[in-house]
């Protein structure tokens, strides 16, 4: 992925507060929420370039095994369950 651009953005404090609350509701940072909304607006206007990469996934990255592969998920056996 290419390096991300940094910009200075001045916002009305009430607008920032509303964005921060909305971002929190959607489990995003304020910066990620702003980028999400900008991409959404560009797409609606037909101005989102085709070479734009996807948004980074939210949450923790998946756990990897020692070999770098995803661990297999196995259901707990009856002896491992603590009902």
Residue 22 falls within a domain, yes or no?
A: yes
- Rounded CA-CA distance 72/20 in Å is 37
Q: How many domains does the chain have?
A: 1
The pLDDT tens digits for 45-66 are: 999 998 887 776 667 777 876 6
Residue 38 falls within a domain, yes or no?
A: yes
Query: Please, are residues 40 and 34 in contact by the beta-carbon 8 Å criterion?
Result: no
Residue 72 falls within a domain, yes or no?
A: no
Residue 32 falls within a domain, yes or no?
A: yes
Residue 24 falls within a domain, yes or no?
A: yes
Please give the residue range of the domain that contains residue 37: 13-44
The pLDDT tens digits for 68-80 are: 665 555 555 555 5
Q: Could you give the percent of the chain with pLDDT greater than 90?
A: 53
Residue 70 falls within a domain, yes or no?
A: no
C-alpha to C-alpha distances, 76 to 70, 72, 73, 83, nearest whole angstrom:
18, 12, 9, 12
């Amino acid at each position: 992925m290419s390096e991300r651009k940094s910009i200075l953005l001045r916002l009305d404090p009430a607008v920032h507060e509303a964005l921060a609350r909305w971002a929190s509701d959607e489990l995003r940072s304020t910066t990620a929420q702003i980028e999400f909304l900008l991409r959404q607006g560009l797409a609606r206007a037909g101005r989102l370039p085709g070479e734009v990469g996807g948004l980074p996934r939210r949450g923790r990255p998946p756990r990897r095994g020692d070999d770098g592969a995803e661990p297999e998920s196995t259901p707990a056996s009856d002896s491992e369950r603590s009902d």
